[in-house]
Amino acid sequence: MRKISMVFIAAIAALHFYIAWFEIFAWTTRGPKIFTTFPEELFEQTIVLAGNQGIYNAFLAVGLVWSLLIKDRYWSANVATCFLLFVAAAGLFGAATASPSILFVQTVPATIALVLSYLGRKSDS
């Protein structure tokens, strides 16, 4: 179970590295192609805001990777839990304020990883 939770954590970290790249480096080039309902002039005007969001997503990704590198299983699970809760909370907020689909992109995978991590911790006991 622990290995499956680690795969989920790694996938969530990869997703957040992608989101960070997108928001920091590709907001004005890829943004209009992905967010087709937004006016195109909006992207240039919000580049600083998107970059700021990207940094926060990078922090989430780095925290999740860090949790995978910690040798002590107890502390690895604690750090993973902390950052997965951050991801889930960000997903809930994004779903409530920006797009309901964010719930399925961020909160649901983070919740699954939390459950798997918990079950993996229980099997270690």
Q: At what angle do helices 108-124 and 2-25 cross, to 10 degrees?
A: 150
pLDDT band for position 120 (cuts 50, 70, 90): confident
pLDDT average, residue stretch 88-92: 97
How confident is the model over 46-70, as pLDDT tens digits? 999 999 999 999 999 999 999 999 9
Tokens describing residue 35 = 């967010």
* Average pLDDT over the chain, rounded to an integer: 94
More confident residue, 82 or 121: 82
Angle at 8 between CA 2 and CA 11, to 5 degrees: 140
Neighbours of 102 (CB within 10 A): 18
- pLDDT(125) > 70: no
Radius of gyration of the chain (CA): 16
The more confident residue out of 44 and 1 is 44
What is the value of pTM for the model shown? 0.92
